[in-house]
Amino acid sequence: MQEMNNVQKPVIGVDLDGVCADFYGRMRHIAAEWFELPVESLTTEVSYGLKEWGVTGTRYDSLHRFALHQRELFRTMAMIPGARKYLRRLSDEGYRIRIITHRLFIHYSHASAVQQTVAWLDRHGIPYWDLCFMKEKSAVGADIYIEDSPENVIQLREAGHQTICFANSTNREINAPRAESWAEVYRMIKEM
């Protein structure tokens, strides 16, 4: 009888917004509606917090609450190309996909955020074993993280975690390893 290979593949900690789901693309349309501006007037080159669109202070919470409750932000975002394909490939190869997102920061909106998140993941066919809603992403115990938030990338790396920065306009100052696409993420994970 052939001996079974019991070597466990790494756990991949995957952020959602800006990594799997096009948060900035969807928020751009919602912000244009909120501020009653043509969508073309809002730049696609944003920084973390969206100050380029005039979102400051408490305006972010108001906009985000409107986006979540009136426009179902977490249910209606487009998928970033390649996310499903490469996450399925990794899952089929035995990697454990652990979705880690910090979507519970708007008080009294947790049920909507969780329901919309699960519906989005199911609708787009994103494979995952674990779904974690938390700010401190290093606490979930992944072996490799895919993250776009500059603050999170820095914190994860400083804690000694292998972290691939999923590139967008909010994190241009973050050093390699960086991936411009899910094909690059897949290649980097296989090399790690």
Q: Of 118, 78, 100, which is closest to residue 16 (Cα–Cα)?
A: 100
17 in active site:
yes
61 in active site:
no
124, β-bridge pairs: none
How far is C-alpha 5 from the chain's CA centre? 32
Q: Which of 15, 92, 130, 143 is an active site residue? A: 15
Token readout for 168 is: 């967008």
Token readout for 93 is: 């190869």
H/E element holding 100?
A: strand 96-101
Q: Which of 17, 22, 61, 130 is an active site residue? A: 17
Return the residue matching tokens 């973050």: 174
Crossing angle for the helix pair 58-69 and 110-124, to the nearest 10 degrees: 60
Contact present, 16 and 113 (Cβ < 8 Å): no
Which are the catalytic amino acids? Answer: 15, 17
